[in-house]
Chains A and B, each alone.
Chain A
Amino acid sequence: MITVFLVEDDPAALMGLRKLLAAYPEVSIIGSEMHLADAKHFLANNKPDLIFLDVQIQGGSGMDLLPLIDGRTQVAFITAHEEYAIDAYEMYAIDYLLKPIRPERLDKTMQRVKNLYLKRELGTNASSPMDNSDTEEILELKLPEMKKNVFIKLSSIVWIESMQNYTQIKVSGQAMPVVIRRSLKEWEATLPPERFVRIGRGVIIQFELLRWTEWRSRDEILLSFEGSNEPLLVGRVAAVKLRQLRAKQGI
């Protein structure tokens, strides 16, 4: 059973979330609170596997609960406003859900949670790219054009594509790539080469997240990744490089 705690200050939204979660027999809701102080009290005495956490709740911010949360507890943020989630999401959360919650979007969160717990139950020690392990390396990216810095877990970088002096970074679970002023060459020098490989002239991928490839034409291949709904289209050079890599690793 996956034990779940709900923190949401709108009674109707709370009821809606309970209704949506009723579709998952493996989920056991062990509590729900609407007020920050009550949620703090609950967490002092309970260690749920998963918390659905509204960012804005009565009595303060849902973020204030983060220091109380055990490393094994996963957090899925719920927010009406995308910006609230994006800043914190990559650091702490397994996912974030925008209100109103689409059932199919919740399903993705639950798949992610279930995969994680299945691995734990099987006692897999190998680090998963979706794990929130304490040792996870976090990169701080400065985005002067957006006047902010964002924190991105290394494991959540799916691919990086060159745009001349800029690169766009696809981060798992986020719809839009982040664009920053950093060349692919600089990325190549920063990222651990055992995990990130440059395929072709313009793309670096996190090899472990690659799920399938499909030829679209003689010169184009689609790459699909864990944590990204949208496949990446690359050219022939990248496809050849990938084939070499797979041969080398005996895949």
Chain B
Amino acid sequence: MNDQHFIFNVLSSIVARSEDNEVQEMVLNLADFLRFSFGESRALEPLARELDAVVPYFALQQSLHGKNLVCRIKSSLETRRVPAVPGMLHTLLRNAFHEGLKTSAMPLRIEVSAALEQMPATSGEGSILVIKVANTGRLTEAYTANRDPCLSGLRENLGKIFGGIATMDVSESPPWVKWTIRIPVALADRSFERILNEG
């Protein structure tokens, strides 16, 4: 059962009853993040939807981990409209927190970036959406052996929508572990149009 109306009314009531600013802010962030999590989505959605949800997510994580966590997000404006796989960024983030908290020295650092880069001359014209999620820590076996069902699911989804042209890689450069997703923008636009056509 997912009675969103009830949930947001309860959260609203908690905010109104609380005199504690920190509690109010946590509940407001939780509401923002839940609204993103509950939202229905198509196979592709503008990246803005996910980027906007990173802010309350980071704020909530910061409330939980305090000084043991340093988060940073950097995105260029032109990336916001680019169609991307819903949940893509948050799958990588969930993983970064999970693995980072196990393997990183404190404070754990998590960084997210979204930018457009020019396509290499050999691959044609246009730009590529480059999403990076990095955490301090080590590259564990769960990463490399593709054992995480969420990460495998994301990889599969990217393959299904973009036919193997979008890439998803992980690299380690101590103390950082970095996931990178690359999606050609023209391909994302075409795929989005196809999805809209299919209704």
Q: Which residues of A contact B (CB under 8 A)?
A: 10, 12-17, 19, 56, 80-82, 98-102, 144-145, 161, 163-166, 168, 175-177, 179, 181, 222, 230-231, 233
B54 at the interface (CB under 8 A from A): no
Does B48 lie within 8 Å of A176, measured CB to CB? Answer: yes
With A145-B199, A163-B189 already in contact, the answer to whether A81 and B5 are too (CB < 8 A) is: yes
Does A233 lie within 8 Å of B9, measured CB to CB? Answer: no
B114 to chain A minimum Cβ distance, whole angstroms, is 14
In the A-B complex, the 10 residue pairs with the smallest Cβ-Cβ separation, listed nearest first, are: A16-B16, A80-B8, A99-B12, A100-B12, A100-B15, A12-B16, A12-B13, A80-B5, A145-B199, A80-B9
With A168-B81, A231-B77 already in contact, the answer to whether A13 and B12 are too (CB < 8 A) is: yes
Does A175 lie within 8 Å of B52, measured CB to CB? Answer: yes
**Which stretch, B27-35, B57-65, B92-100, B159-167, touches the partner chain A?**
B27-35
Task: List B contacts of A175 (CB < 8 A).
Answer: 48, 52
- How many pairs, one residue from A and one from B, have CB atoms within 8 Å of each other in the complex? 81
B4 at the interface (CB under 8 A from A): yes
Does B35 lie within 8 Å of A82, measured CB to CB? Answer: yes
Task: List A contacts of B77 (CB < 8 A).
Answer: 222, 230-231, 233
- Category for how many chain B residues contact A: 20 to 34
Having A100-B8, A230-B48, A230-B77, one finds 5 other A-B pairs with CB under 8 Å, namely A13-B12, A14-B16, A175-B52, A177-B46, A230-B80
B193 at the interface (CB under 8 A from A): yes
Does A176 lie within 8 Å of B46, measured CB to CB? Answer: yes
A215–B81 alpha-carbon span in the complex (Å): 19
The one of B15, B48, B192 in contact with A16, judged by C-beta atoms closer than 8 angstroms, is: B15
Does B196 lie within 8 Å of A81, measured CB to CB? Answer: no
Does A56 lie within 8 Å of B5, measured CB to CB? Answer: yes
A231–B11 alpha-carbon span in the complex (Å): 31
B2 to chain A minimum Cβ distance, whole angstroms, is 12
